[in-house]
Amino acid sequence: MLLHVRTGNDGRPLPEVLYGRRKMTAWLARNGFPNVSKHTVDRLMRDEGMNGLVRGRSARTTVPAKTGGVRAGDLLNRVFTSPRPNHAWVTDFTYVRTWCGFVYVAFAIDLYSRAIVGWSASTTKDVHFVEQCLAMALWRRDHTDRPVPPGMIHHSDYAEVRVRPRVRVLACVGGGS
């Protein structure tokens, strides 16, 4: 049936080819298949390589690095384990699409316990946003009598060299008290 939908008598593609699962299910119900399941339509369309037309532009969420950008070295050598608490933390951030735009969420994870030790949310992705996450993690560790020792390794895939001196100051202030 779906192969018949792809072209008309003159061989040209029909508008139904642009339909997604919901419109295709409704179209099939109008054309003699009232009990067809949306899951069946979804499976058949996937098998036939049919996709609905997506209108509009998708939001650009990942921006490639500048050609001259210098990234910090990988001190963990991609080995994400730790022999003791507060020895190594990794940080990352993600975005959540909301009705009003994007909200960015940064988090710091202790590699020993795999616990989130700090987090931050912001509508802008900047240095202050990441610093808040690390400051929260350091504050929480200090106030639970588990201070961060000097020499703790902080790893981030996106840490730029210009951010590192400010992060070191945070680590000294948070871990030294």
Distance (Å, rounded) from C-alpha 66 to C-alpha 69?
A: 5
Distance (Å, rounded) from C-alpha 156 to C-alpha 134?
A: 12
pLDDT averaged over every residue in the chain:
77
CA nearest neighbour of 110 among 84, 129, 147: 84
- The answer to whether position 54 is within a domain reads no
Q: Are 94 and 150 contained in the same domain?
A: yes
- The answer to whether position 123 is within a domain reads yes
Number of domains in the chain: 2
- The answer to whether position 167 is within a domain reads yes
Q: What is the pLDDT of residue 166?
A: 46
Q: Are 94 and 42 contained in the same domain?
A: no
* Predicted TM-score (pTM) above 0.85: no
pLDDT digits (tens, 9 = 90+) for 121-146: 998 888 788 889 989 999 998 888 88
Q: Are 166 and 107 contained in the same domain?
A: yes
- The answer to whether position 53 is within a domain reads no
Q: What is the pLDDT of residue 118?
A: 92
Q: Which whole-number Å values give the CA distances from 136 to 41, 55, 73, 108, 132, in the listed order?
A: 49, 41, 24, 9, 6
Q: What is the pLDDT of residue 65?
A: 60
Q: Are 72 and 51 in contact (CB under 8 A)?
A: no
What's the average model confidence in pLDDT over 95-112? 89
Range of the domain at 31: 2-48
More confident residue, 58 or 65: 58
Q: Are 87 and 150 in contact (CB under 8 A)?
A: no
- The answer to whether position 129 is within a domain reads yes
Tokens of residue 98, six digits: 């909301």
- Predicted confidence band of residue 82 (pLDDT cuts 50, 70, 90): confident
**88 pLDDT above the threshold of 50:** yes
Q: Are 134 and 154 in contact (CB under 8 A)?
A: yes
Residue 156: CATH number of its domain:
3.30.420.10
- The answer to whether position 169 is within a domain reads yes
- The answer to whether position 39 is within a domain reads yes
